[in-house]
Amino acid sequence: MSKPTILTGDRTTGPLHIGHYAGSLSNRLRYQYSHDQFLLLADTQALTDNAHDPEKVRRSVIEVALDYLAVGIDPGHTTICLQSHLPALAELSMLYLNFVTVARLERNPTIKDEIRARGFGRDIPAGFLCYPAAQAADITAFKATVVPVGEDQAPLIEQTNEIVRRINAMADCAVLPEARAIIPKAGRLPGVDGKAKMSKSGGNAIALSASSEKIRNAVKAMFTDPGHLRVEDPGCIEGNVVFTYLDAFDQDQDELGELKLQYQRGGLGDGKIKARLEGIVQDLIAPIRERRAQFSEDRGYVLEVIKEGTERARERTEATKREVVNALGLFEL
């Protein structure tokens, strides 16, 4: 029995943060031995909203690869590959664009949110609007059936499956499999300032490479319940970023449940819960930071991992592209 295939990836726009860890890296670690896993360094997708800064996109390829290795992605089992060097992904994207309408792309909730967040107005880069078709190409080129992603990406997997069904219907055979998103229970981590989205650009993220001082300061400044002024006052859990983070990272959920009750009753200070969270985040990041420093001393090794992974991915994606071209009945030479 061959293992089911995972494909997921990250735009290369800067180092990853603990939101990525909670959102999908932890699932990638969990499944890397039971699945045939591919991680895509999505540099061409990064260009769709960073065309003004290709230098950042280029630089970030190594940063994201370092983060993968530092958290424990094992290149002996997971293939790390570079999107811009896999031409089949671009070719499949062009084919898929004929099986999706502009209206459907505009209705995609992820795209709608991101257009708003980026303030594109009427000036949406065409590549950006169309990236759901490209992401469908990424997923299907590997014939992935499992896609670990953050909650915000779910509509993209849905749209991928719509494209898959249209292609299969046209081809009159199941040339492509449908895929299933794996989304963490804890939901999306907000920024340390309480804003809905944690992002590098928003300055409200804790990077996986953060120094212990950065972590301490970030937790200290973290948004709690503004009405919780004295320790004995009852406090609110909802919208309290410290508890949202504890939900995502605390291994002892029973004790956390007790603490929540105590906080809501009154008598538990913000200092205490912040100290608990800081300890947990420090313990999570310290070994990652250490391994990251070691790997970044050996850039040659990191490059080799990406090169080898991209070669392996090229074979697989080219094979799928040929199958799709044939299944659609295009001219053969």
Is the Cβ of residue 12 or residue 240 nearer to ligand TRP in the bound state?
Answer: 12
Task: Tell me how far the alpha carbon of residue 34 is from its chain's centroid.
Answer: 20
In the complex, what is the shortest distance from the CB of residue 235 to ligand TRP, in angstroms, rounded to a whole number? 34
Is the Cβ of residue 81 or residue 218 nearer to ligand TRP in the bound state?
Answer: 81
In the complex, what is the shortest distance from the CB of residue 42 to ligand TRP, in angstroms, rounded to a whole number? 4
Is the Cβ of residue 149 or residue 268 nearer to ligand TRP in the bound state?
Answer: 149
Residue by residue, DSSP assigns 69-127 as: HHHT--TTTEEEEEGGG-HHHHHHHHHHGGGS-HHHHHH-HHHHHHHHHHT-TT---HH
In the complex, what is the shortest distance from the CB of residue 18 to ligand TRP, in angstroms, rounded to a whole number? 15
List of residues contacting ligand TRP (CB under 6 A): 7-11, 40, 42, 45, 135, 138-139, 147, 149, 153
Judge whether 135 and 158 are in contact, CB under 8 Å: no
CA–CA distance, 266 with 227 (Å, rounded to integer) = 12
Cα of first residue to Cα of last residue in the chain, in angstroms, is: 35
**Torsion from C-alpha of 307, 311, 312, 317, nearest 10 degrees:** 130
In the complex, what is the shortest distance from the CB of residue 149 to ligand TRP, in angstroms, rounded to a whole number? 5
| CA distances in angstroms from 115 to 124, 162, 182, listed in the order given | 7, 22, 24
Is the Cβ of residue 4 or residue 267 nearer to ligand TRP in the bound state?
Answer: 4
In the complex, what is the shortest distance from the CB of residue 202 to ligand TRP, in angstroms, rounded to a whole number? 15
Q: In what order do the strands lie in the sheet with 5-11?
A: 78-82, 36-42, 5-11, 146-148, 180-182
Is the Cβ of residue 69 or residue 280 nearer to ligand TRP in the bound state?
Answer: 69
H helical segments located in the chain: 18-20, 26-31, 43-47, 54-71, 87-96, 102-107, 109-118, 126-129, 131-141, 154-171, 212-220, 241-249, 253-265, 270-297, 299-327
CA–CA distance, 136 with 95 (Å, rounded to integer) = 11
In the complex, what is the shortest distance from the CB of residue 152 to ligand TRP, in angstroms, rounded to a whole number? 8
Q: Residues 8-41, buried b or exposed e (16+ Cβ, 10 A)?
A: bbbbbbbbbbbbbbbbbbbbbbebbeebbbbbbb
Is the Cβ of residue 9 or residue 75 nearer to ligand TRP in the bound state?
Answer: 9
Strands (DSSP E) along 3-54, which ranges? Answer: 5-11, 36-42
Is the Cβ of residue 198 or residue 215 nearer to ligand TRP in the bound state?
Answer: 198
Is the Cβ of residue 58 or residue 265 nearer to ligand TRP in the bound state?
Answer: 58
Instruction: Output the residue with the shortest Cβ distance to ligand TRP.
Output: 42
In the complex, what is the shortest distance from the CB of residue 64 to ligand TRP, in angstroms, rounded to a whole number? 9
In the complex, what is the shortest distance from the CB of residue 297 to ligand TRP, in angstroms, rounded to a whole number? 27
Is the Cβ of residue 108 or residue 240 nearer to ligand TRP in the bound state?
Answer: 108
